[in-house]
C-alpha cells in the first residue's frame, strides 16, 4: 500500500493498492485513471485472470455502513468502467460498476468473486454518470444504483466470506477504474458519502 490518502466524505484513510493512479481534488472529488488493458476479473470459463486496475481502498469502521458516490466515466471502449469495490484478497472481492457494454451502452454491472467471478448486467442508462452504493448489513452486503442520487434501484444482495473468516470487519472498500479493451479511461467520483448506519430496507434501498 502507498501513503495514505484522505477523501472528503470518508472518515477513514485510503491507500493505493499498487502505484498511485489518481488525484483527489480540493472539492473532494476523486479521479482514478486506468491504463490500457486493465481489468479486475477471474473468468469462470477460461484462463483470464487480471488484477491490474488502480485501486484506492481502505478499512472501514466495524459495523454496518453505506458508501455511495456519483460516478462519471469516459466510456470510450468496451468495458471501460468506474466502480466501488469490496476487497478481501485477490480471489475474494466484489465490484459495482458503471461500464460500457458490448452494445456501447452505459450499464450498471455487478461482479462477485469467490475464487472465480460471477458477472451480471442490471440496467442501462442514457447518461455517462450514475450514483453507486454499497451497504453492509451484518455479514451480508447490498449493491444499489440511482439515476438521480435519491431514488435507489436494487442491484444485488450477497454474502461475502472466505476461508479468512466472515466479511464483518475484514472487507476493505474503495474505488477503481478499468479499461480492458481500450487505451485507458478516467473515472470521476464525486458526492462521496459514508454513513455508519444500517440500510433500513434492502429491496427499496431506503
Q: Give pLDDT tens digits for 144-175.
A: 999 999 999 999 999 876 554 444 447 899 99
For the domain that residue 167 is a member of, what is the CATH number?
A: 2.60.120.200
Q: Report the pLDDT value the prediction gives residue 2, as an integer from 0 to 100.
A: 67
Total-model pTM: 0.93
Of 173, 189, 132, nearest to 15 by C-alpha is 173
Check residue 204 and report its DSSP letter: T
Asked if residue 2 belongs to a domain, the reply is no
Asked if residue 128 belongs to a domain, the reply is yes
> Which residue bears the cell 481500450?
182
Q: Report the pLDDT value the prediction gives residue 26, as an integer from 0 to 100.
A: 87
Asked if residue 5 belongs to a domain, the reply is no
Answer whether 179's CB lies under 8 Å from 187's CB: no
Asked if residue 204 belongs to a domain, the reply is no
Q: Report the pLDDT value the prediction gives residue 56, as an integer from 0 to 100.
A: 96
Q: Give pLDDT tens digits for 184-203.
A: 999 999 999 999 999 998 88
Asked if residue 86 belongs to a domain, the reply is yes
Q: Give pLDDT tens digits for 63-119.
A: 999 999 999 999 999 999 999 999 999 899 999 999 999 999 999 999 999 999 999
Asked if residue 205 belongs to a domain, the reply is no
Number of domains in the chain: 1
What SS3 state is found at 96?
Answer: strand
Residue 44 lies in domain: 15-195
Question: What is the DSSP track for 172-199?
Answer: EEEEEEEBSSSSEEEEEEEEEEEE-S--
Task: Point out the least confidently predicted range of 34-38, 47-51, 148-152, 172-176.
Answer: 47-51
Of 80, 63, 59, nearest to 71 by C-alpha is 80
Asked if residue 56 belongs to a domain, the reply is yes
Asked if residue 206 belongs to a domain, the reply is no
Amino acid at each position: 500500500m502507498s501513503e495514505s490518502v484522505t477523501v472528503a466524505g470518508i472518515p477513514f484513510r485510503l491507500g493505493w493498492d499498487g502505484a498511485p493512479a489518481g488525484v483527489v481534488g480540493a472539492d473532494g472529488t476523486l479521479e482514478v485513471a486506468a491504463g490500457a488493458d486493465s481489468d479486475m476479473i477471474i473468468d469462470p470459463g477460461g484462463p483470464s485472470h487480471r488484477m491490474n486496475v488502480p485501486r484506492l481502498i481502505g478499512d472501514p469502521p466495524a459495523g454496518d455502513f453505506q458508501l455511495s458516490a456519483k460516478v462519471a466515466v469516459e466510456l470510450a471502449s468496451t468495458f471501460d468502467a468506474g466502480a466501488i469495490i469490496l476487497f478481501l484478497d485477490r480471489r475474494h472481492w466484489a465490484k459495482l460498476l458503471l461500464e460500457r457494454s458490448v452494445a456501447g451502452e452505459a450499464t450498471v454491472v455487478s461482479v462477485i468473486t469467490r475464487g472465480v467471478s460471477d458477472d451480471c448486467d442490471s440496467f442501462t442508462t442514457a447518461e455517462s454518470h450514475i450514483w453507486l452504493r454499497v451497504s453492509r448489513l451484518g455479514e451480508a452486503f447490498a449493491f444499489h444504483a440511482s439515476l438521480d442520487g435519491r431514488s435507489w434501484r436494487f442491484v444485488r444482495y450477497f454474502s461475502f466470506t472466505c476461508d479468512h473468516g466472515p466479511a464483518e470487519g475484514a472487507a476493505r472498500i474503495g474505488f477503481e477504474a478499468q479499461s480492458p479493451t481500450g487505451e485507458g479511461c478516467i473515472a470521476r467520483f464525486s458526492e462521496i458519502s459514508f454513513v455508519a448506519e444500517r440500510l433500513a430496507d434492502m429491496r427499496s434501498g431506503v
